[in-house]
């Protein structure tokens, strides 16, 4: 897939902060849980932007919209935020599936945990960007989100992390918007299995650092 990752920088609060940028030459179909451009639809780019540990803005969608403009990114895209150093991204390829993971574990949590009254922190955030070389149906993309999440949680469990993730994790899956769509994205499907292995390896690779 002709979608390369670049490391760029922006000025914010007097600091030069890195941003990972994926820019597609043609519109791609994406599914994302990100604060900007989330849901399922056709998008042109993805950004994973590092923010200060003290980040407390209540308008991440607007913030990421302006960031996309400042970076000269055309059309609609997907934007994610993290306080982790995005330059420490862990990238893995498995049979055509490319996964990039930035892992911050300041606040790991169990998914099925009691309610607590505390602010959500970006210090602990796991962001995943997955590039798939063939088209998946919308249902398969949703299924693949679950597969990626299972693989991430498996990696955390194997590393002895007390949690299934963090409260602010985000994931974005990218595939072509043309061609005959694959109907399945589960862990035993062709592309789901490759995705799961790549996510698992990328998260473990980041934790090993």
Residue-level pLDDT at 118? 67
User: Which residues of the chain fall below pLDDT 50?
Assistant: none
DSSP state of 97: E
Report the C-alpha gap between 20 and 18 in whole angstroms: 7
Residue-level pLDDT at 209? 78
Measured between its terminal Cα atoms, the distance across the chain in Å is 27
Report the C-alpha gap between 25 and 44 in whole angstroms: 8
Residue-level pLDDT at 65? 96
Structural domains of the chain sorted by starting position, each given as residue range(s) with its CATH number in brackets: 5-208 (3.60.70)
Distance from CA of residue 197 to its chain's centroid? 16
Q: What are phi and psi of 32, to 5 degrees?
A: -150, 150
Q: What is the pLDDT of residues 92-125, one digit of tens each?
A: 999 999 999 999 998 899 999 888 766 666 667 9
For residue 21 the two structure tokens come to 């940028």
Record the pTM. 0.95
């Amino acid at each position: 897939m002709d979608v390369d990752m670049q490391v760029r920088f922006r000025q914010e609060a007097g600091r030069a902060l890195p941003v990972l940028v994926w820019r597609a030459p043609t519109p791609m179909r994406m599914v994302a849980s990100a604060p900007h451009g989330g849901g399922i639809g056709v998008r042109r780019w993805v950004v994973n932007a590092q923010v200060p540990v003290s980040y407390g803005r209540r308008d991440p969608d607007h913030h990421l919209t302006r960031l996309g403009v400042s970076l000269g990114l055309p059309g609609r895209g997907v934007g994610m935020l993290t306080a982790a150093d995005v330059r420490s991204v862990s990238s893995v390829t498995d049979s055509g599936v490319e996964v990039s993971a930035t892992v911050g574990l300041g606040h790991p949590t169990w998914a099925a945990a009691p309610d607590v009254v505390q602010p959500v922190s970006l210090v602990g955030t796991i962001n995943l960007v997955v590039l798939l070389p063939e088209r998946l149906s919308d249902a398969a993309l949703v299924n693949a989100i679950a597969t990626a999440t299972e693989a991430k949680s498996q990696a955390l469990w194997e590393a002895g992390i007390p949690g299934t993730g963090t409260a602010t994790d985000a994931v974005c899956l990218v595939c072509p918007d043309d061609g005959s769509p694959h109907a399945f994205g589960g862990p035993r499907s062709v592309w789901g299995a490759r995705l799961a292995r790549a996510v698992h390896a990328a998260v473990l690779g980041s934790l090993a650092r």
